[in-house]
Structure 1
């Protein structure tokens, strides 16, 4: 089995990660490699935003505001971004193109996110991708300073693999059910 196939087949999400996180400098070569995903027209219709420290707290406040519970304290909602020391916001940054539709640009951005999650996992980091109904809320958009041509696709939560992490169980698929011919 190839190294890539082994790494991909062993990929798992860690819903809990330790407080360790890669530095900005450690992320740079991984982001550079993730940019190799299929990208029709080489538009680079994506960008990533690092959220560390107080930025995670501001995201929690934006999520609470988006939930409509402004007058109530919702510690669960506010604490969600604090589950990892590093969050990487994945942004589809759509470019004007007569040849590449928006959906294809969004697919490229999602491809970068998935590729980055594989690269982070291969580098020994725990990663999980979080989305949800508030991902595209106005307060959340504003907090990320998104342009009108951009959409937030979610966040990669990145941290150390917990010492007590158990091997994840993933249901195997029958590839014959998902691969057909015409």
Structure 2
């Protein structure tokens, strides 16, 4: 990884998805404080077309049942869908379309995704592991219903949040992702 003198760039460059997080989680109050980092997200006309839903405890069982219902999965009595239990805290990211003549829905969804990623970076910088998860049933009617989504909202997935195992954190500190080759991603407008 390229060395950055700026701590913000360093935090961004060092961020990793953590597929297996531990049981400790930030409090609702800490998440509320971290939302200050989301405020500067690019947001045409300042519509704030997003919201977050915190899922803890039994909420995860309810989500698992909704995912099963959406997929047509029937389980034995006492058996649960363990996917929502991969973390003690899930943060559902909801994009909301606000009717506005100058801001199309796709742009508002991009703002919601940007807000989620800024929150992910803020959580990472605060020492938490995060994995953004989605799936084929993310916007199935059953899943939308348990989140209380309205017709003008779309679920963009869940941030699975928890602490990071010390051994994994140590491994992260001693390994790095290769720097991105910018050539395939930067270009100019074609001229006839």
Q: Under TM normalisation by the shorter chain, which class is it?
A: over 0.9
Gaps of 5+ in 1: none
TM-score w.r.t. structure 2 length? Answer: 0.89
Distance 1:112 1:91, change over 3 A: same
Cα offset, 1:32, TM superposition: 2.5
Q: How many residue pairs are counted as aligned between the two chains?
A: 181
Alpha-carbon distance, 1:69 to partner: 1.3
TM-score (norm 1): 0.94
Task: Indicate whether 1:91 and 2:82 are aligned.
Answer: no
Unpaired runs of at least 5, structure 2 = none
Shift of 1:164: 2.3
Match of 1:175 in 2: 182
Q: 1:147 to 1:177 in 2, by over 3 A?
A: same
CA distance in 2, matches of 1:77, 1:7: 37
In the TM superposition, what is the alpha-carbon distance from 1:31 to its structure 2 partner? 1.3
Cα distance in 2 between the residues matched to 1:75 and 1:36:
45
Q: Report the aligned-residue RMSD.
A: 1.8
- Aligned equivalents of 1:130, 1:152: Cα separation in 2: 11
Retained in 2: the 8 A contact 1:59–1:143? yes
Structure 1 stretches of 4+ moved >6 Å: 74-77
Aligned to 2:6: 2
- CA-to-aligned-CA distance 1:22-49 (integer Å, 9 cap, x gap): 0000001211321220000100000000
Compared CA separation, residues 161 and 75, structure 1 to 2 (3 A): farther
Give, in whole Å, the separation in 2 of the partners of 1:57 and 1:154: 16
